[in-house]
Amino acid sequence: MQRVDIVEIVSEHVVLKKRGKDFIGLCPFHQEKSPSFSVSPQKQLYYCFGCGAGGNGIKFLMELGKQSFGEVVFDLARRYQIPLKTLDPQQRQELQKQISIKEQLYEILAVATSFYQHALQQTQGKIAADYLSQKRHLLEETIQEFQLGYAPPGWETLYRYLVEQKRYPVTLVEQAGLIKPRQNGNGYYDQFRERLMIPIQDVQGRIIGFGSRTLGNDEPKYLNSPETPLFDKSKTLFALNKARQTMIKEDRAIVVEGYFDVMALHEQGIKNVVASLGTAFSQAQLKQLLRYTQSKQVIFNFDADRAGKQATQRAIAELSALVYSGQVNLKILNLPQGKDADEFLKSSSNAVSFYRELVEKSPLWLDWQIQQLLEENDLKKADQFQRVGQGMVKLLQKLEDNNQRTHYIRHCGEILAQGDSRMIPLQVNSLMGQLKKPQSTSSKTTIQTAITHSERNLLEEAEELLLLIYLYCPQHRNEILQLLEEKDIIFSLSHHRLLWQAIDRLSLEASADLSQLQNGLLSDPETRNLFDRFFHVNEKRQEDLFRAQVRIPEAIAALERVSWEKYRRHCLQQWQSINPQEQPELYQYYSQEFYRAGEQIKKLDEVRINPAENVS
């Protein structure tokens, strides 16, 4: 697993900022305002100083997704194409099969791209070629760079080429999203027909799907590939592979709405630009961008018409957790006269330099939202004045940084004073009176991360039991090590971690080592009380050691139970905080996860209550 970089893994889920040799961010396992979550690329470990969560990349993914050790290793191996000796032969065979399938899908999509490119150059592709050169005014170099093509008319044109001529398995061509089965079950037909084809690539530059545009009056105007083993449009950004180096160089990412906006800007040398794929901009997409900008500066340049502004508002709402906490330096660029980027660049001879100037002057997201309130209302009218004030309070209420809140309270007070300096203090006081103090997250953190008294007792009992069995039952040491690794469990209580580290340093192999361990730990007055019971075993513990085969799975289940309880509280907290009308999918997700965690806890309780039934 040496190819797996923990920074790359964590940055898909946490916005990381470099600090010295390490990276820091807000912990994904508990709510906090100040980052206490640290990732060390040198050690390939993460640790949260707030809640104590820590481990390697595999542990991170297990905790975050509540997956088993095998599931995470399997997914990582498939993603990084790593041969795994840790998997059993059956799992290894399944992994190789899936990797092989993905490689074949990449090949099929690459061949389809060449097919579409060839069709664009033929007589039948003239309609698409004219559209690109005459309507979009794209240069031939740009058409080649983005590998644009044409899907010819006919229901089975691509099907015949790939399946009958190239002899690719029809099931794989279907998995690639290029053909669909007929409803009557008799054969297949092409997914794309009489359309301009726009290949979509992953960060490595491999074709993973297609966007397409109709050249007639067919609906929908734009059609993407369906979701496939390679393509998930909510996690993909068009042209990221071409834009990322410029993003790093300029320390800024620009997001536009359309494929042709991207191509037009890249053609003019503005290459730090990507596009979402017709979906609401997601946190997963944003976190991809933030890997390539140290300052975390992202500019949304959506269309300036009503629909574009609504899309911007939806994107800000979707990313609110990152935006309001300051994890992203989000700015908004609306071009004059409601133009999109492609139209704007063609509007005048100096449009490119003007665009660069507008990028530099683009306002912060909150300034833009305040401006939208002012554009939609007239402060001279009492009801609309009240609406603006209420809108400002709603925006300011969510700001977590006190200095930022103070700045914008003053700014909004000046706006509401409408040029009368005497009214500024009154408006500022009015805003401050309406603003409640930002909700403290300390109570939420307690709910989510602090273990209960009963859970601490459970941890104390289970961890102590495992350590005792490991010390006194050498025949079970490999079993315990294997379970700890498989479940990716680390000792949560500090004194148990200290003992485990001491055991690990000695690499116990004989009773002599146990004496050495005892002398080292009990000689220190500060640690003697903590560890004395491990070397003077009482009658109850002797019975536990005698029944070690039963007690081991019981203890492991107890440790897993505490972890699932923590996750269950997290899901409940998230579920209760979500408005089901505004975010129905997220509301349902946390509801289902809360139920799933409860089911897992029931299963673990069965192991704990009836351990003998679960041991062969």
- Find the distance separating the first CA and the last CA of the chain, reported in whole Å: 32
24 forms beta bridges with 17, 38
Instruction: Report whether pLDDT(545) > 80.
Output: yes
Does residue 484 have a pLDDT over 50? yes
The pLDDT of residue 128 is: 97
Proportion of the chain above pLDDT 70, given as a percent: 87
> How many C-beta neighbours within 10 Å does residue 348 have?
10
Among 71, 73, 80, smallest CA distance to 56 is for 73
Nearest to 392 by CA among 403, 384, 381: 384
What's the pLDDT score for residue 87? 56
> Which H/E stretch holds residue 482?
helix 477-487
Parallel, antiparallel or unpaired: strands 195-201 and 149-151: antiparallel
Judge whether 323 and 368 are in contact, CB under 8 Å. no
Location of structure tokens 């100040």: 34
pLDDT over 80 at 528, yes or no = no
Pair 231, 105: CB distance under 8 Å: no
| pLDDT given for residue 247 in this prediction | 93
Instruction: Check residue 221 and give its pLDDT.
Output: 92
Closest CA to 289 of 333, 338, 322: 322
The answer to whether residue 108 scores a pLDDT higher than 90 is: yes
Please compute the mean of the pLDDT values over residues 258-278 and round it to a whole number.
95
Model pLDDT, residue 447: 38
Rounded CA separation 112/467 (Å)? 58
Calculated CA dihedral for residues 49, 52, 57, 63, nearest 10 degrees = -130
Percent of the chain with pLDDT over 90: 40
Residue 611 has pLDDT above 60, yes or no: no
Confidence category of residue 385, pLDDT binned at 50, 70, 90:
very high
List, as one string, the DSSP characters of 485-539.
Answer: HHHT----SHHHHHHHHHHHHHT--SHHHHHHHHHHHHTSHHHHHHHHHHHS--H
Choose the weakest-confidence range: 133-137, 161-165, 505-509. Answer: 505-509
